[in-house]
């Protein structure tokens, strides 16, 4: 009996579905939070690495300012920065943008 592996388009479809589900869940959680609590969390975590908690440094990559953690070597992008990088780095990066943008 042979088991068929999912095609790349199937994997991409499910990745898009999962990204959309997580986006909606995050928006719902944010809506339920009071403004004061949002401000408290922002002050606590602003420019801190979400993985290890250390300070993030802003660096420029292909003309885009991104946040880099030199403690755990994580790289973090703000809204729109992935799309900006995709314009300068074609190929796999454009596919990744498509997964998160839903297009």
79: tokens are: 């809204």
8-64 pLDDT, tens digit each: 788 889 999 999 999 999 888 878 777 778 788 778 878 899 999 999 999 998 888
CB 82 within 8 A of CB 100: yes
Query: Which ranges constitute the DSSP H helices of 2-91?
Result: 8-31, 35-45, 81-88
Residue with tokens 């991409």: 12
Output phi, psi for 64, to 5 deg. -115, 130
94: tokens are: 């454009």
pTM: 0.54
pLDDT at residue 5 greater than cutoff 90: no
């Amino acid at each position: 009996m042979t088991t068929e592996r999912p095609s790349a388009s199937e994997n991409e479809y499910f990745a898009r579905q999962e990204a959309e589900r997580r986006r909606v869940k995050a928006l719902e959680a944010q809506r339920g939070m009071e403004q004061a609590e949002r401000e408290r969390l922002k002050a606590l975590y602003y420019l801190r690495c979400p993985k290890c908690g250390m300070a993030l440094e802003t660096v420029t990559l292909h003309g885009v300012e991104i946040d880099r953690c030199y403690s755990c070597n994580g790289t973090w992008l703000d809204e729109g920065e992935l799309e900006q990088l995709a314009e300068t780095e074609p190929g796999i990066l454009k596919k990744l943008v498509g997964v998160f943008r839903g297009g």
